[in-house]
């Protein structure tokens, strides 16, 4: 366990350090930081590195195992009437436990925080059940996406929706698929897809995360139809300035109890559900249960460290950088700097590591973690750049989301289904806690400095981060498909030559058995 933890921390070190390096370069050049802010950022960086390492180790040995065990047991029952309500309950519980959903809800006071959280949870629960039905009925995933996203955009363009709710709705679809939801739901999908047992069932385990991102968008849009414009006002809160390093350090100490309690309250429903499910159905042995609970311990501690570092160390820095760049004479630098930060920040998202590992395992290396990571990084860089342009110009987010999703859905008709499922999953995974605690404050600070409307211009950055990987990863699928077609004749010729090398020696052998020859030719 200790050796594995060291390896995970090394991986997280490589993921977080590039982001820290960019912020450090900014602090010594065009965006100077006070000693107290720099200290907070340094401590936050250390907490992020250790937190991500512990979380990924814990997720491997707990959340993924729990999801697979529950998914396998559900499919064993073969009773749809039993599977669907359990899927709904799981979707609600893991979503309301998602830390970055709470971060977004607290920064979006257009509606009560609890109403927002539970509405999103219900949306995920409903669409998790629909995702299982899609797997069971073998409905093509691109067709499902086309229908539901067409419905979403028709609804979003309706005059019934309060404009302030549109960016928040798409943002909520991104943050629901975070560090707790992703490993659990992806593993659950692997178990649920085994009910078919055919050769494409494992590939169909992808797409659940993407389906679960649709429900929150619809439920928050419904909230937007029920609320008046007067209630949808966004107030930007400025981070507290510390006069000394000791005060900044005490801020971390004051925050730890809050996140210890917050993550515990998030874990309790999921763990309680698992214990009840195990008691009634699974009845796992003591050794397996001990392994799971040790893993849950690592996951819990890792999330506490991660969220404390992200919220206390990263959030104020993001807002400060946004305000400093947008409020100066070189506001155009906000776009390339935002793109640079976006490129590196996606590698630090905990759930991204889970997705890359799961994709490599299921596809047996056909989609490598490295190529997936590069595609994600390029997509997020583009999305942050577009979001900064929106902050500077005030262009409506729908001018980007509608053509972006339309193009993504069009490409989905041309690429192998596995790339579509992974792409839509990756869109939700890329928009995790760091997006909510660093990139969103960056956009909010910049928008505030420009005197823009924070609700309509700054919010939506999470949605943009969730959209662009749909394009970059499916383009990766098109390239892969093109290469496969291009080299297919070469591989066929090689196969023929190999067959000839096998058959000809047998033909020359006068003592060859006829049955052996026939069998060889067939092969």
Answer whether residue 238 is part of any domain: no
Which two three-digit tokens encode residue 190?
A: 């692997």
CA–CA dist 378, 386 (Å, integer) = 13
- The secondary structure of 506-518 as a DSSP string is HHH-TT--HHHHH
pLDDT, mean of residues 57-70:
84
Q: Count how many domains the chain has.
A: 1
Are the C-beta atoms of 463 and 473 separated by less than 8 Å?
no
- The number of beta carbons lying within 10 Å of the beta carbon of residue 272 is 11
**Model pLDDT for residues 35-47, shown as the tens digit of each residue:** 888 899 999 999 9
Answer whether residue 389 is part of any domain: yes
CA–CA dist 244, 392 (Å, integer) = 34
CA–CA dist 303, 300 (Å, integer) = 5
The pLDDT value recorded for residue 307 is 86
Are the C-beta atoms of 281 and 73 separated by less than 8 Å?
yes
Structural domain that includes position 366 = 2-228+245-522
Answer whether residue 234 is part of any domain: no
Greater confidence, 139 or 230? 139
Answer whether residue 128 is part of any domain: yes
Q: How confident is the model at residue 523 (pLDDT cuts 50, 70, 90)?
A: very low
The pLDDT value recorded for residue 363 is 67
Answer whether residue 444 is part of any domain: yes
Lowest model confidence (mean pLDDT) among 71-75, 303-307, 516-520: 516-520
pLDDT, mean of residues 353-378:
77
Answer whether residue 311 is part of any domain: yes
Q: Which helix (H) or strand (E) covers residue 101, if one does?
A: helix 99-107
The pLDDT value recorded for residue 93 is 85
CA–CA dist 466, 448 (Å, integer) = 23
The pLDDT value recorded for residue 196 is 57
Answer whether residue 240 is part of any domain: no
**Model pLDDT for residues 209-264, shown as the tens digit of each residue:** 888 889 999 999 998 888 755 444 444 455 556 667 888 899 999 999 998 998 88
CA–CA dist 349, 16 (Å, integer) = 9
What's the CA angle centered on 219, arms 204 and 86, to 5 degrees? 50
């Amino acid at each position: 366990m200790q050796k594995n933890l060291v390896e995970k921390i090394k991986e997280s070190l490589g993921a977080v350090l590039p982001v820290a390096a960019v912020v450090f370069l900014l602090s010594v050049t065009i965006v100077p930081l006070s000693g107290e802010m720099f200290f907070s950022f340094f401590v936050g960086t250390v907490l992020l590195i250790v937190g991500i390492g512990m979380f990924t180790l814990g997720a491997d040995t707990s959340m993924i195992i729990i999801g697979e065990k529950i998914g396998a047991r559900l499919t064993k029952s073969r009773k749809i009437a039993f599977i669907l309500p359990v899927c709904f309950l799981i979707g609600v519980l893991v979503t309301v436990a998602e830390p970055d959903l709470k971060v977004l809800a607290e920064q979006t006071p257009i509606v009560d925080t609890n109403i927002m959280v539970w509405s999103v949870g219900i949306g995920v629960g409903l669409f998790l059940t629909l995702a299982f039905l899609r797997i069971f009925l073998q409905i093509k995933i691109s067709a499902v996406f086309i229908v539901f996203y067409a419905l979403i955009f028709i609804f979003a363009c309706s005059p019934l929706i309060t404009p302030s709710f549109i960016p928040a709705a798409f943002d909520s679809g991104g943050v629901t698929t975070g560090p707790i939801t992703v490993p659990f739901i992806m593993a659950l999908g692997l178990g649920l897809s085994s009910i078919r047992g055919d050769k494409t069932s494992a590939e169909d385990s992808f797409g659940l995360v993407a389906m679960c991102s649709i429900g929150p968008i619809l439920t928050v849009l419904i909230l937007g139809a029920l609320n008046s414009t007067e209630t949808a006002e966004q107030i930007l809160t400025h981070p507290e300035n510390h006069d000394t390093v000791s005060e900044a350090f005490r801020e971390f100490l004051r925050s730890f109890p809050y996140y210890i309690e917050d993550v515990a309250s998030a874990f309790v429903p999921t763990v309680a559900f698992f214990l009840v499910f195990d008691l009634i159905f699974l009845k796992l042995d003591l050794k397996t249960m001990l392994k799971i609970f040790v893993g849950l311990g690592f996951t819990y501690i890792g999330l506490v460290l991660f969220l404390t570092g992200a919220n206390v160390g990263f959030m104020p820095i993001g807002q400060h950088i946004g305000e400093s760049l947008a409020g100066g004479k070189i506001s155009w630098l906000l776009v390339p700097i935002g793109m640079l930060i976006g490129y590196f920040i996606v590698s630090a998202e905990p759930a991204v590591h889970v997705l890359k590992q799961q994709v490599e395992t299921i596809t047996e290396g056909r989609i490598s973690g490295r190529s997936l990571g590069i595609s994600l990084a390029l997509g997020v860089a583009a999305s942050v750049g577009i979001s900064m342009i929106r902050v500077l110009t005030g262009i409506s987010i729908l001018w980007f989301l509608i053509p972006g999703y339309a193009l993504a859905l069009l490409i989905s008709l041309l690429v192998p289904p596995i790339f579509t499922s992974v792409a839509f999953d990756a869109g939700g995974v890329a928009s995790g806690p760091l997006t909510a605690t660093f990139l969103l404050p960056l956009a909010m600070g910049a928008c505030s400095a420009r005197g823009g409307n924070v609700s309509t211009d700054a919010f939506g950055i999470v949605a943009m981060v969730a959209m662009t990987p749909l394009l970059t990863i499916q383009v990766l699928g098109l390239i892969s498909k093109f290469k496969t077609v291009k080299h297919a004749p070469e591989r066929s010729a090689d196969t023929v030559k190999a067959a000839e090398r096998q058959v000809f020696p047998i033909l020359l052998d006068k003592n060859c058995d006829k049955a052996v020859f026939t069998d060889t030719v067939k092969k």
